[in-house]
Amino acid sequence: MNLLAIESSCDETSAAVLVDNQIRSNVIAAQLIHEQYGGVVPELASRAHQQHIVPVVERALADAKIPKTALDAIAFTRGPGLLGSLLVGASFAKALALGLNIPLIEVNHMQAHVLAHFIGDSNPAFPFLCLTVSGGHTQIVRVRAPLDMEVIGQTQDDAVGEAFDKSAKLLNLPYPGGPLIDRYARQGNPLAFRFPLAEMPGLDFSFSGIKTAILYFLRDQIKTNPQFIDQNLPDICASIQYTLVQMLLTKLKRAARETGIRDIAIAGGVSANSGLREALQKTGQELGWRVFIPAFEYCTDNAAMIAMAAKFKFDQSDFVGQDVSPLPRMSF
Ligand code: ATP
Ligand code: MG
Ligand code: FE
């Protein structure tokens, strides 16, 4: 079975080819244009997708050594994401499926982040918990089967990726700042500064308070020492990262305790964070969890995870018609 998958929900244009159970190619074109604006500009994102989609798909097919005519199905991200960005991938996938007269498969981007754990040989067993942490979402998902999952905890305001990026902005770091906070944090002391930890009931999160706490903290420090950020960047980054990771792990531990589930996975862009990866390994050892951490290339947005999710749907002949349209707020 040869499957082409397309991801275009935000600011990465990606295409991947899956042959039977193996990812054969995974081409990702990131959009650097947004850096100068300090965030993703939707109009520019969809324009960049239009420019990238044909060369990215052609590269993915060439890398996999699969001609278009050998494809058995086309998959695409239906949502959630930016409407204009989703439209480019959806329209392209629909046109190609129509032209080749092969089935079309819609994929939920957040489900795909979770199912990235089925790329390769080390897979969690059902049921497992997945902490999905990305630029737009923070969710604890109970996964009963590949296509049967339920959100049991989520953020009530900002996503944790947003908290990383907005904190980085306050530190005058370029967008997206999450990876830079991670890099500086490695040289810093995580206990140098304390930020108040917001407490949400149950398994839910809140990340808007921490951002405000950091803003006020920096403003007060800069009043007495204008060079404060430059002189303390590693310690500030390490402290912010430590706080965010603790907030995530507190709820993940509670979810594991309440459900009795011990196969624990992380997914999404923030799962690339080295502080989170280390803390999860350590907690897993303490509590007897089997911990699943994706390879770096499958953490942030990529079409390989869309292909993996689509494979499960292909096996159930779960196809959609040409009347399908993107869903910017798609849930599952
Ligand atoms: P969603 O999946 O919710 O629709 P998205 O697709 O934009 O959002 P991803 O591409 O999965 O999100 O993740 C991007 C986010 O991950 C950004 O907020 C980025 O800062 C963050 N991120 C990436 N690497 C790291 C890292 N090493 N440390 C912290 N954050 C990181
Ligand atoms: Mg992105
Ligand atoms: Fe994503």
Give the mean pLDDT of 226-240: 98
Identify the band that residue 197 occupies on the pLDDT scale cut at 50, 70 and 90. Answer: confident
pTM for the structure as a whole: 0.96
> Is it the case that residue 268 has pLDDT exceeding 80?
yes
Instruction: Determine the Cα–Cα distance for residues 180 and 168; give it in Å rounded to an integer.
Output: 8
Residue 210: both structure tokens together = 């921490």
Rounded to the nearest angstrom, the distance between the alpha carbon of 99 and the centre of ligand 1 is 34
Say yes or no: 134 and 247 in one domain: yes
Is the residue at 17 inside a domain?
yes
Do residues 134 and 270 share a domain?
A: yes
Whole-angstrom distance, CA of residue 144 vs CA of residue 150: 8
Shared domain for 158 and 286, answered yes or no, is: yes
252 lies in the same domain as 272: yes
Mean of per-residue pLDDT scores for the chain:
97
Is residue 198 scored above 80 in pLDDT?
A: no
**For the domain that residue 40 is a member of, what is the CATH number?**
3.30.420.40
Residue 326 domain-assigned (yes or no): no
- Number of domain units in the chain: 2
Residue nearest ligand 1's atom 3 by CA:
136
Q: Verify that 69 and 137 share a domain, yes or no.
A: no
Nearest to 41 by CA among 73, 15, 11, 3: 11
Residue 10 tokens read as 């935000």
Q: Which residue has a Cα nearest atom 24 of ligand 1?
A: 179
Whether residues 187 and 74 fall in one domain? no
**pLDDT higher than threshold 90 for residue 118:** yes
* Banded pLDDT at 199 (limits 50, 70, 90): confident
Nearest to 20 by CA among 93, 72, 97: 72
pLDDT digits (tens, 9 = 90+) for 168-185: 999 999 999 999 999 999
For residue 332, tell me if it sits in a domain.
no
Q: Is the ipTM of this complex over 0.95?
A: yes
Residues 106 and 247 placed together within one structural domain of the fold: no
Residue 135 and residue 276 in one domain: yes
Residue 292 has pLDDT above 90, yes or no: yes
Q: Which residue has the tokens 């390994």?
A: 281
Judgement on whether residues 106 and 183 belong to the same structural domain of the protein: no
**CB of 269 closer than 6 angstroms to any ligand 1 atom:** yes
Q: Is 137 in the pocket of ligand 1 (CB under 6 A)?
A: yes
pLDDT digits (tens, 9 = 90+) for 20-72: 999 999 999 999 899 899 889 999 999 999 999 999 999 999 999 999 999 99
Identify the domain containing residue 253 by its residue range: 124-294
163 and 43 in a common domain: no
| Residue 136 Cβ contacting ligand 1 at under 6 Å | yes
Ligand 1 binding pocket includes 236 (Cβ within 6 Å): no
pLDDT, mean of residues 202-219: 94
User: Do strands 138-145 and 104-108 pair parallel, antiparallel, or not at all (unpaired)?
Assistant: unpaired
